[in-house]
Amino acid sequence: MSTQLSALLTHLFPAIILAVLGWVIRTKGPQGFVHGMVDWSKVDDVTRRRAGRDVGNLLFAMASWMAGYAVFRHQGVYDQASNNLAQVIFVGGISLLVIVMLFMLLRLRETKPKHGR
């Protein structure tokens, strides 16, 4: 196995894991996977399904971001400057997706009073 192929498989493995985890969270819901951030007993079913859909979509976005970076690295037709720029964009994009997911889950933590009308 060549070094480029092993690097591609090494980069694609976490992307596949994130895609599978995103699918499971999207179909089963996030309440078993996101511990400590949200009290799921206070969240209604519609919001729980929406949160599962949103978390699953963010994990799919992370997986596709990682797969795109792996394919870019596997092509091997880049110089050092574009490699550095690609690494900065990759880390910035993953960090942005993680921060968006945290803010989305923290927004679920806020319970709004229901007036009963």
Spans of the chain, pLDDT less than 50: none
* Model pLDDT, residue 1: 64
Please name the residues in contact with 65: beta carbons below 8 A apart, sequence gap of 6 or more. 90, 93, 94, 97
DSSP 7-55: HHHHHHHHHHHHHHHHHHHHHH-GGGTS-SS--GGGS-HHHHHHHHHHH
What's the whole-model pTM score?
Answer: 0.78
